[in-house]
Structure formats: C-alpha cells, structure tokens
Amino acid sequence: MGKRRNRGRSQLLSTMTKKQKKHLRDFGEEHPFYDRVSKKEVKPQICQLSESSDTSHSESESESEQEHVSGYYRLLATLKNVSEEEEDEEEDDSAVSDGDISDEDGDEDVQVEEEIAESAETQEPDDPKEKDGEEPPDTSQKSPEEFTDAKHESLFSLETNFLEEDSGGSSSQRTSQDPFQQHVNKELKEKDIQAATSSSPTSQQLKWPILGQLVFSSKFRKMETFKPPKDIDLKSLHLQKPLESTWGKTNSQFLSGPQKSNSPFTPLQKELFLIMNSYRDLFYPERTALKNGEEIRHVYCLHAINHVLKANAQVLANNSRRRSQKLGVGEDDDFRDQGLTRPKVLIVVPFREAALRVVQLFISLLEGDSKKKIIVSNKKRFQGEYGSDPEERPPNLKRPEDYEAVFVGNIDDHFRIGVAILQRSIRLYAPFYSSDILIASPLGLRTIIGGEGEKKRDFDFLSSVELLIIDQADIYLMQNWEHVLHLMNHMNLLPLDSHGVDFSRVRMWSLNNWSRYYRQTLLFGALQDAQINSLFNRHCTNAQGQVAVRNVPVTGAISHVLVQLPHVFQRMEAQDLASVIDARFHFFVNKILPQYRDAVMSHTLIYVPSYFDFVRLRNYFKKEELNFTHICEYTQKSGVSRARHFFLQGEKQFLLLTERFHFYKRYTIKGIRNLIFYELPTYPHFYSEVCNMLRATSRGEEATWTCTVLYSKYDAQRLAAVVGVERAAQMLRSPKNVHLFITGEK
C-alpha cells in the first residue's frame, strides 16, 4: 500500500474523483472504474482515451496523449471487470464532443482530466516538424501563435481524398491550353540549365497602356513577349471553378459604370493578371497603400488560389484514377503531380492586418454569392488573433494619409499561418507540411528558418514553393531587409527529410532540384530601390522569364516642397559601391560639418536613412563633444520628448534623426532652421515632408533657412525620384559637384 501511494500519489490525486480518493485512503487501492460517480456516466469518457480505444487521430497523437497522463492510464489498464454493456455505452459517449459533456455533480477533478485530454487532442501536431517547423513545446505552456489545427488532418489530406464530380475537372483540350499545365509540364534539359547559369540575360522593352514601360528578360534561350488584348474573356484565362463566378462579385468594389459590365478586371488588374497567368516573374514598384494596394491584393489572391485549386484538383483526379486502376504506392510512374513537400504558395506580408485581408479574400473567392457557405475551420480564433480593436487607436492621432493606410489594423510583424484548401473548404492554422498556402512575415519565417549552428531550425517547407508573392517590399527595408535575403537564400532547397512523400508522385524537375527555375515570384513595392532590384535580378530565375516595370519619375518629390528654401545638392566621389559609406562619412566630416559648427548655424537637423550611419555619426559627435541630441526608432518616448524640447529651445545645436523613426512615428520636428540630408531618403515623399517641417515654427527667419543634400553617382534612382529624371541626368553628367535649386518662389 505504501509503495503504491509513493509511486504515483501526486498524479492520482489530481485526476481522481472525491469518491475514488476516499476509497484509496480507506482501502489502499483504486476504486473500480465502473462504480459511477453520478447517474450520468462521465468516467467512461475518460476510459475512452485509454490505449485500447479506437480514435480517429494518428498514432503519434495517441502516443503523445498517453505520455501526457501516463500514470492515470497505467491504473486504468489494470481494471479488468468492466461489463460488456458499459463498454458499448463508452463507445456511444466517445462520439460526443468534449464541449457537450457536463459534470452534474461539479466534480472538478473530472473536468480537469477532460481539459487535459482535449488540449492534447487539438494542439499537438501529428509530427513535431509539422508544427511550423519547430518541435512542439509543452502543451500547457503553448502560446496562441504556435497553435496548429491537427484535428482536421484526414479531411484535408490530399492522399486520402478524391475529386468530386462538380469540382471543375478540365477536359483534355482545356488542359492542353491551360497556362498552369503548360508551365508545370514544361521539360527543361541539363544543357538549358547550364546555359542559364553561365549566360547573361537577354532583354527587350515594351510599352503597355497602363503599366507603362516594361522590360522582358530571360536567361534561357527562347524569350517571348506579348501585348495585352483590348478585351479579355474569363474563359480564356482558364480559371478554376468556382472562381469564374465569384471573381466578379469579389472585385465589384473597383468596377463602376460600363466597365463593370464589360470586364471583371480594372485596366491595371487586367494587365497584371495577364503577366501573372503567363507564369512569368513580375516586379511592380508602383504599389501604394493609398492608391492601388487593395486592387493589386485582389488580383494576386485570385492568381494564388487559382494555382492551388488547379494543383489540388490534379492530385485528386489522379487519386481517383489510381483507385479505379487499383494501383498501390509507387506502382505507376505516370502520375507525377506534386512537389517534395505540400506548400505551393508563400505570401509574405508585413503585418497581421494584411494576412487577415488575404484570408478574407480567399474565403470570398471560394464563397462568392453562393447560398451555401464554405467550411472555414478555426475562423473565430483567426479573427481574434489577426483582427484589431478600433478603440485601441488614439482618437486624436493626426498623421498623413499614407501613414494611416499603411498602419491600419493589427500591425504586429511576427506571425505565420498555414492554410489548407480542399475544394470548397479552408483550414486555418494547418501544420506547415499539411498546408497549401503559407502566409507569414519575414520575421515570422526567420524564427523558423533559424541560422547556422542552431539546433531547432527547419526550412524544408520552402522546398517546393511554386508561387512566391512578396507584397509591400518597401516596408521590409524599414523592418529588416536581412530577413528577406535570408528567406530567399533558403528557397527551393532539397529537403533534409522526406516528410512521408510518395516519390512516385513527385515531378522530375523537383527531384532534379530545379524547382527554382519553375518558381514564379511576384514582387510588389512602392518604389524603385537598389536592394529590391538586386533581389529581383539575383533570386528570380524563372524559366518563363521576368517582367519588370521601369517607369521613370518626371517631376520628383522636390516639387511638393511648399516653403521657400534653397536646396544645395553636393556630389561626393566614390571609387566603387563598397566605398560609398566611408566616402560619405569623410565628406560629411571634412566638408559639410565644419560649415555648421558655428553657433550661428544652430537648430540643425541631420536626417540619416541608415541606422549604421546614425550610430557612426552619434559616436563621432560624442567623441568631438558637440552639442547635440538624437532620436532613433529605439529611443524611449520620454527621450523623444526631451530631445524635441531641447532642440526647439536651442539648447542642443544638432539633432540626429533616423529615417526609420520618421517612418514609424511621423512626428513634426519643430525648430528646424538648417537641414542636412546625410543621404537621399528611401521614400522620395519623405524629402518634401521633412522640408515642409521648417514652416512649423516660422518666426521670421525664413531668409536664413538652408538645406544641404549629399549624393553620389550610385544614388541615381533616389536622386531621380527627388528632383526628376531630367535634372538627375544633368547633375550626374555635369562636372560641377554643387547644384542649387530654390523652391517656394513667389
């Protein structure tokens, strides 16, 4: 008796009823399980979770649940005297969900046991690597963002489902003309791959009515260009059912008048979708949150879900064919329709609000105006975690319109979620290796991918991504661009584990590690930037080719400066791109800063786009003991208020301000008389915004205002965005290093 109590007393007391505890105390052994606590049988529900029960979950789930309450189940396994009648009643009770069972006697111990069983059933994935690529922590300490839906695994499994008759199977003629089929069935040869890796791309320019100047390029031998037709027919786009009928209603908010009846696309959407549907890589640098952001989101969501529905329909159709032919695993080599892992689409967005809108679009595209609602699992949980409360935003917060459009809703930037789509059902929080679409932020992906030397890291789920969508790429420059580069370096690598794949169903180009040449990349941003251009040129190697929009700015942001201000642009010389950083610092310290050291040149704001340059300047100012203060994105609110006050009152001569602080806060800095742009701003409209801050505290000293801008020949894109392309070309060709422009002249 003493030995038995010492072995498992703590576990027994937490799981046993009061009556069983009394029986154990009086008789020294467990009370018979069939002795009911109340008239309603609750205990058989717990017995149903024993090792001998028949559950619908995977074997790995059952094992993990048994380990979670192993002491209690060892006791249950010793009970031999349950009657046949009670066993039948236990099977009936197992069909009832945990939420429908109530304890009439208020037995807290039974309730705790049921909650533990439910937690183990709903939160632990089938495979530790299926849960967002990380080993699952203890379920009792699992955070909400780590939740994955393992309950609906069999319902959304591609291996065990078959194509329904009304799900939009394509005829052979329709299939042969489908751009999706033409893309995935295109066969590359080894010599094509070698030629693409060693040769430089060929390019050709075309002008489209809406998109403007396009550059078609390809590293493969054959490059084709095309122009958009005047009229577009939905049937010619080969949309999968039910998208042909649901797209019109989903996109109706952007259509008006005769345009609504003539075409279901706006002119911009039509040209973008024609490029997307041809499976070429696309770079569109004119996506703005105020103007066309939602319009573009609608069209790339249509393309993404169309791709997934076609891919899944092909797998399910082949499942039906294999079943009719009674073929086993690996018995036929003619059904290659999958990648090495299931995720096909990766959508990278900066904030949870963007992920929420993408999922809402998926639901709308599958549902449309149909009376029959589609099944969306975990929808309430998703809305709670990705939605926002309007009352949380300060009511008197006045910011520019573009700021309000970008920072709307839930702006958390650390998230990831898997979405599985099967015919007319959507499963949110699906394990990554059971998902069709992954929606994540760069930071959310970075924490899974990990780095060299880290034990817990996984990037196999990126091995077979066929469609990569990077939306609002310019915002990642303000977050952490290294996360995006780290993601691109791990795209379409051979997985380290098989993850249960049937290799007889894997496409040959995926087995040959050529997935990167079949991956379509859609890149959307608000500006032309050298880092974004480099990513597109280096990491987009689609065999179908690339299309980049290359429109040049005509006027520039300087035309929006409202104050009368002389703008002095000083060009510095640098031998190469790698030496620009040091050249700029030495030019500023030796040529620019001495002009502002005099006390007369007080109230000088130095705008610094790069945080690394900001740290370097801050350290130099401290070393030289200059009278300055500084504000960056990491400065506490009290420090920001103190620095702004000192600068306004003239107690500090210099104020160092980072671009990321201005991006996230958009504070109006008062007291500026002299303005120095250490480097041209990333966003061109920031130039006019900062210049217009001078009029915030105008006290009759307008005649003494100055503005100095540093630039080099490697800043051609940013310079053209500020002063216009013609002026920029003249400034870069001119032998003069100093150029003066005056704005606000009457």
- Kindly write down the DSSP assignment for every residue of 629-651, as one continuous string: EEE-TTS-HHHHHHHHHHHHHTS
DSSP state of 165: T
Q: Are 270 and 256 in contact (CB under 8 A)?
A: no
Taking residues 367-384, report their average pLDDT: 86
Within 10 angstroms of residue 329's Cβ, the number of other Cβ atoms is 11
Helix/strand/coil for 27: helix
The whole-number pLDDT of residue 671 equals: 93
Rounded CA separation 442/34 (Å) = 54
In this predicted structure, the answer to whether residue 642 has a pLDDT above a threshold of 70 is yes
The pLDDT-based confidence of 11 (bands split at 50, 70, 90) is low
In this predicted structure, the answer to whether residue 651 has a pLDDT above a threshold of 90 is yes
Which residues, at least 6 apart from 357, have a Cβ–Cβ distance to it below 8 Å? 294, 297
The pLDDT-based confidence of 198 (bands split at 50, 70, 90) is confident
The pLDDT-based confidence of 567 (bands split at 50, 70, 90) is very high
Q: At what angle do helices 530-539 and 481-489 cross, to 10 degrees?
A: 10
- pLDDT tens across 693-719, in order? 998 877 767 778 999 999 999 999 999
Within 10 angstroms of residue 264's Cβ, the number of other Cβ atoms is 22
Which residues, at least 6 apart from 207, have a Cβ–Cβ distance to it below 8 Å? 213, 214
Within 10 angstroms of residue 434's Cβ, the number of other Cβ atoms is 25
In this predicted structure, the answer to whether residue 661 has a pLDDT above a threshold of 80 is yes
Q: What angle do CA 489, 495, 501 make, to 5 degrees?
A: 145
* DSSP bridge partners of 629: 655
The whole-number pLDDT of residue 333 equals: 63
Rounded CA separation 578/582 (Å) = 9
Q: At what angle do helices 59-68 and 70-77 cross, to 10 degrees?
A: 100
pTM for this prediction: 0.78
Which residues, at least 6 apart from 419, have a Cβ–Cβ distance to it below 8 Å? 359, 362, 426, 427, 428, 430, 435, 436, 437, 438, 439
The whole-number pLDDT of residue 226 equals: 85
**Least confident among 44-58, 491-505, 551-565:** 44-58
Within 10 angstroms of residue 461's Cβ, the number of other Cβ atoms is 26
The whole-number pLDDT of residue 18 equals: 67
646: left (phi over 0), alpha (psi -120 to 50) or beta: alpha
* Main-chain dihedrals φ then ψ at residue 458, nearest 5 degrees: -155, 130
- Residue 714: how many CA atoms within 13 Å on its side-chain side? 15
Taking residues 632-659, report their average pLDDT: 95
In this predicted structure, the answer to whether residue 446 has a pLDDT above a threshold of 90 is yes
DSSP state of 524: E
The whole-number pLDDT of residue 522 equals: 98
Q: At what angle do helices 2-15 and 108-123 cross, to 10 degrees?
A: 80
Taking residues 85-100, report their average pLDDT: 39
Within 10 angstroms of residue 207's Cβ, the number of other Cβ atoms is 10
Which residues, at least 6 apart from 734, have a Cβ–Cβ distance to it below 8 Å? none
Which residues, at least 6 apart from 76, have a Cβ–Cβ distance to it below 8 Å? 33, 46, 47, 50
331: tokens are 């018995």
Rounded CA separation 127/136 (Å) = 9
The whole-number pLDDT of residue 456 equals: 87
Helix/strand/coil for 706: strand
**Least confident among 3-17, 339-353, 644-658:** 3-17
The whole-number pLDDT of residue 395 equals: 63
Residue % of the chain over a pLDDT of 90:
54
652: tokens are 């500090």
Q: Are 346 and 438 in contact (CB under 8 A)?
A: yes
Rounded CA separation 401/573 (Å) = 37
Rounded CA separation 645/159 (Å) = 65
Helix/strand/coil for 452: coil
Q: Quick one: which H or E segment has residue 566?
A: strand 565-571
Rounded CA separation 715/529 (Å) = 10
Alpha helices in 409-507 (DSSP H): 442-449, 473-479, 481-489
Q: Are 166 and 225 in contact (CB under 8 A)?
A: no
In this predicted structure, the answer to whether residue 10 has a pLDDT above a threshold of 80 is no
Q: Are 236 and 288 in contact (CB under 8 A)?
A: no
Which range has the top average pLDDT, 22-26, 182-186, 307-311, 330-334?
Answer: 307-311
- pLDDT tens across 512-529, in order? 999 999 999 999 999 999
